[in-house]
Structure 1
Amino acid sequence: MINHSDLFIKPEIFKNIPQLVAGVSTRHGGKSPSPYQSLNLGVHTEDHPTNIQANLLLLCQNIGIDPAHLARSFQTHQDVIWECSEPNYAQGFDAIISTTPNIFSAVGIADCCPVLLVDQNQKITAAIHAGWKGSVLCIVAKTAQLLLSKYGCQAQDILAYIGPCISLTHFEVGDEVAAQFSSSCKQLFQDKWHVDLKKHQVIQLNELGITQIEISPWCTVEHNEHFFSHRKEQGITGRMLALAGFHA
C-alpha cells in the first residue's frame, strides 16, 4: 500500500540492516507543478531547477541523508559502471557502486527498471538503471559480477531489490527489440511483443547465485498516480530516484 503522503518506499528486504538507507522515491510530497507533480527529481527535465532542488531537499530530509552525499549521473542507457569514491554528479554512467560510508548511489527512473544491490558485510551498495538497452547489455549482471570479483562480496550475502518499472502488461515493443530478449522474458499479446524487464534482471542475478531478491509489485504505467511514467505521460514527466548507501 502506498499513501499519497509517502515520499519513499523502503523495501522489506533491507529493513533490518543497520545504517542502510535504500529504496525508491514516489511522485508524492514535492513542490513541482503539473506535468511534473510533485516530487520530480529529474535534473534534465523541463521542470524549474528551484523545484527540483527543493524536492531533493525534501526527500533527503525525509530519509535522513545530506543531498551533498549523493552520487548521481546523467544516464545514457549503456553498461558503464561508476565505482564511486566521492559524491558528485557525473556523466555517462547507468550503474553506480558505493564502497564508502555516507555516499549514496542514486539513479533516476520513470519506466526503466531500478535495481539496488546491498552487501551488509562489506558495506557496499549499487544502484542500477536498466532500461531495455541496459538490460540487453546485461548491466545488472556486470555490476553484480564486479561486486563478486573485485570487492570480495559473496553471492549469498548480496540482497537485491528490483523496483517499480513498466510491467510486462504495458511494455509493448517492436520485433527488433523483442528479438534481443530470451523467450522467458517476453510474450505475445494480440500479435504484439511485450517484455518483462523485472524477470530479465532476476534471471541475470540468479545466474550469478544471487537469490535473495525482492521484486516490487508496482508498475509505473498502471500505478501512474504514485510513479512517473515516461510512456504513460508521453515523455513529459518527472523522475524518481532509486538509491542505496550506508551511514558512517
Structure 2
Amino acid sequence: MVEAVLIDLFSLPANLQNNIQELLHNTLEAIEKCSAIHAPCVYVMCCQRQGSERKGEQEFLLAALRGFQSLKRLEVVCAQTTAAALYTIKQRLDEKDLSIIKVILPTIRKDLMKVYIDNLFTAVYQFEFEDLQLISDSESLQISEHQHEGQIIPSQDVALIQSEIQMYLESLPSLKGELTILRSSLIPDDIFLHGFTTRTGGISYIPTLSSCNLFSSSKRRDPQIVVKENLRRLANTAGFNPETFHRVKVDHANAVCIMGKTEPDNYDGIVTDQKGVTLAAPGADCIPVLFADPVRRACGAAHSGWKGTLLGVSMATVNAMVSAYGCNMKDILVVLGPSVGPCCYKLPHESAKEFHRIDPKCVRLFDSANPYIDIRRATRILLERGGILPENIQDDSITDQNQNITFCTACHPDKFYSHFRDGTNFGTQIGFISIKD
C-alpha cells in the first residue's frame, strides 16, 4: 500500500499557471478517489524561483490545493535544486517512517529522477512511478521530448547529479554540535594520526543515526552519499585524505587484509606500512581496535564483535603485522575504542560458555539464561596470551579516567551509537589510524 505520493512539477514551465493548476487539480483528485480509506502523505515538488516569479508560483500551487480536505497531509516543497527538494521530502518521509512511495512525474524526468533516488535513498524504500498526465490538447504544455524513458543516462549527467547532491549536502549545517574525536595517549602522535569518532558533527538527521554516522547499509535509511559527506567532514577535522581511506569489510570473523596484497572479499582486520593511508574499523557496540608499531612504523585496525573476539581477530591482526612488516610483538601498541561494556552486554548462555572458557571473569551471572559478557577483557586476555605486553594495551581497565576512551556505547546515547540500544536502524562510529608523512 502506497504510504506517500510525490508529484514532481520541478521541470514544468512556471509561466503556464492555469494549465499546471488544472493538471495538479486532476492529479490530486485521482489520488483522493483512490485513497478514500488510507490517505497517503502527498508532496508537491517544484522549483523555487526568484522574486515575483516565486511568489506567483506558490500562489497558484496553493490555489490548486484548495478543496482537497481529505488529503490533510499535503505539502508543497519548493527548492532551487532537485537535490534540495528531494532531500527535504526524504526528511519528511523519515520523520513519519514511510517507505512505500509513488512518484508521479513527466515521462522525460523519470530516468533522471531514478538517479537522484538511487543516490539519496537506500533499499529500505520502495518506489513506483506513474506518468504525469499532461493536457494533450494544450500546445502550451508541450515539453521537449529530448530524452525518453528507458534511455541510458550519459555518465556525465549522472556525475552532474551526484555533484549537485554533494554540493547541497556540503552546505548543510552540522548537527548535535562540533565533530569530536577521542585520542589515546598510548599511540605517539608524532608518528601516527589516529582517533575514535563520536556521534556529533555530521549531517545524518534520523535520531538513531544522528549525526556523524559513518556506515551505510541497505537495511538502514542513511544513503552512502550522506556517509561520504560525514567522512569528508571527519577527514577535514582529523587531517587525513578521504580518498586514501580503507574501512574493513566486516564479516564478524578473523580474516586480515594486508594493504598492497590481494584484498579478501571480507575481512575484519587490516594492516599497512604505507604512509598517508588511513585504516578504519567500525563499531556500534563491537570494538574498534587500533594497532601501532612506532619502531617498524606499521599500523592496523580491527573490528571485534563477540564472534570476532572468540575467533581471535585482534591477534590475527597482530600476527599479520609481524609476518608482513617484521614487527616485534613487544613493540606493538593496542587501543580498544568505545564499545558495549560488561555493564550492558548480554549473550545467550551457549555463547557465554565460550567466554567463560577464556576466563570466568569474562562472564557475570553465568548461570542465567543470558549472562553479561565482557568482550574487552576477553580481547585483552587473548592479546596478552599472544605476546602483547599488558602495559601496551589500553582499555577500560586504566585507573586514570581522564585517559579513558573505552566508553560503553550503550550507556552514553549522547556520545555514541549502539545497535544493542537503538535497534536495526542504528548509526556507526569508527576507529581510524594512519602513518604520518
Determine if the TM-score, normalized by the shorter chain, exceeds 0.5. yes
Residue of structure 2 in register with 1:195 after alignment:
373
1:116 counterpart SS class: strand
CA shift at 1:4, angstroms? 5.1
Residue of structure 1 in register with 2:215 after alignment:
42
- Relative contact order: is structure 1 or structure 2 higher (C-alpha 8 Å, sep ≥ 6)? 1
Cα distance between partner residues in 1 of 2:324 and 2:227: 36
2:413 counterpart SS class: coil
TM-score normalised by the chain length of structure 2: 0.53
Gaps of 5+ in 2: 1-175, 396-404
CA shift at 1:49, angstroms? 2.7
1:220-235 paired onto structure 2 within 5 Å:
220-235=409-424
Letter in 1 for 2:411: E
Equivalent of residue 185 in structure 1, options 343, 351, 362: 362
CA shift at 1:103, angstroms? 1.1
1:49-198 paired onto structure 2 within 5 Å:
49-85=224-260, 91-181=265-355, 182=358, 183-188=360-365, 191=368, 192-198=370-376
1:207-226 paired onto structure 2 within 5 Å:
207-211=385-389, 212-215=392-395, 216-226=405-415
Post-superposition Cα deviations, 1:89-148, rounded to whole Å, max 9, x if no partner, equal x74111011121111111111000111110011111110000011011111112112223
Letter in 2 for 1:21: L
Task: Identify, as 1 or 2, the structure richer in helix.
Answer: 2
Post-superposition Cα deviations, 1:134-176, rounded to whole Å, max 9, x if no partner, equal 0111111121122234421112211110111000111111011
1:145 counterpart SS class: helix
Residue of structure 2 in register with 1:13 after alignment:
186
Percent identity for Structure 1 against Structure 2: 26
Are the aligned partners of 2:271 and 2:320 in contact in 1 as well (CA < 8 Å)? Answer: no
CA shift at 1:217, angstroms? 3.7
Are the aligned partners of 1:145 and 1:208 in contact in 2 as well (CA < 8 Å)? Answer: no
Are the aligned partners of 1:109 and 1:129 in contact in 2 as well (CA < 8 Å)? Answer: yes
Computing the radius of gyration from Cα coordinates, the structure with the larger value is: 2
Cα distance between partner residues in 2 of 1:194 and 1:217: 18
Are the aligned partners of 2:352 and 2:366 in contact in 1 as well (CA < 8 Å)? Answer: no
Post-superposition Cα deviations, 1:6-59, rounded to whole Å, max 9, x if no partner, equal 421111112x33141112111000101023100011022420333211100000
Cα distance between partner residues in 1 of 2:227 and 2:327: 35
Q: RMSD over aligned Cα, in angstroms?
A: 2.0
Gaps of 5+ in 1: none
2:209 counterpart SS class: coil
Are the aligned partners of 1:128 and 1:140 in contact in 2 as well (CA < 8 Å)? Answer: yes
CA shift at 1:184, angstroms? 2.8
Equivalent of residue 23 in structure 1, options 180, 186, 195: 195
Cα distance between partner residues in 1 of 2:418 and 2:177: 17
Q: How many residues align?
A: 243
Are the aligned partners of 1:99 and 1:123 in contact in 2 as well (CA < 8 Å)? Answer: yes
